[in-house]
Structure formats: C-alpha cells, structure tokens
Amino acid sequence: MELGAEVEDARVLDLFAGTGAVGFEALSRGAAEVVFVESHRGAASLIEANREALGVREEQARVITRPARSAVGHLRREGAVFDLVWADPPFESWRLGAEALAAVVEARLLADGGLACLECPAEADVEVAGLEAVRDLAGGASRVVLLRAGPPVSTQTA
C-alpha cells in the first residue's frame, strides 16, 4: 500500500496538527482539503500564518483551535467526512491519539475504506475499535500505524 495514493483528492483531518507540516504536505501532494486541529493557540496561529504564506485558500485549509475530542464533536455536527485522518499527539500522550481516532470512528467522520494514521512509540500496543491495522511503519523509537475503516476488502473470487 502506497500512502501517497491515499492523499490525492482526499479530505484530510490533521489531529494534533502542531505546525501543520503533515497537512501542508498532504496539500502539496494533491489533497482536496485539510482540516487542522490544534488545541494550542500559538501553534494554531502558526498554522494560519503558514497557510497565508503558502497562498492556500481558507476553504482548502481550515484551522480548528480546540482539543481533538472536542473538534471531533464539532465536525460531526457539521456532517464532515474524511478520507484520511492523521493523529500525531505528543509522544508521551500517544493514547490521546488512539482515543481521538476511536471518537472519529464513533462519530462516523472516517469514510468507509478511509485510512487513519497514528504516530506512537515503537512499543505501543495499538488497537482502535472499528479500524483494522493494515501497515506498520517503524522507525527507531516511534512508528506510524496505518488503520483502515470499514469491512476488510476481500481478495477471494467466487
């Protein structure tokens, strides 16, 4: 599975966005829209400044300044649906990312067949109800776990 193919024309939710690097990378690779979620006001302001500096329209890159779980509820009320959700919480609080992804699934914000990504410590035991781990990208002390929504795709033929 090539992650790059998942990005083109995708609606992306960047949870725990920090500086927005992941979301801006997604836009540079053809994402249709990114919603950045960052609870720290200073970091959210930096994302806004980066959006303006890069000349990205506000309709294509929106910032929500609130905690991830609160943002999920807000997005559910809007009826938002995403093809790709990226969660990169602070390293020591990686479980917050798993909890946020569980809330995304429960709120039905991830499209059927959509992909969720969680950055976490290498030794983390990652399980999120409603998502199936499909790939694990390890790199030193951390890793990214790729999880797919919806029923597994069958490769059997009748």
Task: Give me the CATH number covering residue 21.
Answer: 3.40.50.150
Residue 103 lies in a domain: yes
Residue 158 lies in a domain: no
Residue 60: per-residue pLDDT? 96
Query: Which ranges of the chain have pLDDT less than 70?
Result: 1-3, 151-158
Residue 90 lies in a domain: yes
Q: For residue 118, list its beta bridge partners.
A: 87, 145
Residue 152: per-residue pLDDT? 44
Residue 153: per-residue pLDDT? 46
Residue 154 lies in a domain: no
> Could you list the residue range(s) of the whole structural domain that residue 39 is in?
3-149
Summarised one tens digit per residue, pLDDT across range 72-96 is 999 999 999 999 999 999 988 999 9
Residue 110 lies in a domain: yes
Residue 18 lies in a domain: yes
Residue 53: per-residue pLDDT? 95
Measured distance CA(16)–CA(74) in Å, rounded: 15
Could you tell me which residues come within 8 angstroms of residue 28 by beta carbon, excluding any fewer than 6 positions away? none
- Which of 68, 62, 78 has its CA nearest to residue 101? 68
Q: CA 28 → CA 4, 14, 18, 31, 51, distances in Å?
A: 11, 14, 17, 7, 12
Summarised one tens digit per residue, pLDDT across range 103-118 is 999 999 999 999 999 9
Model's pTM, two decimal places? 0.89
3-state DSSP percent of the chain in helix, strand and coil, to 5:
35, 30, 35
Query: Token pair 């020591």 is at which residue?
Result: 92
Residue 144 lies in a domain: yes
> For the chain, what is the domain count?
1
Residue 156 lies in a domain: no
Residue 127: per-residue pLDDT? 86
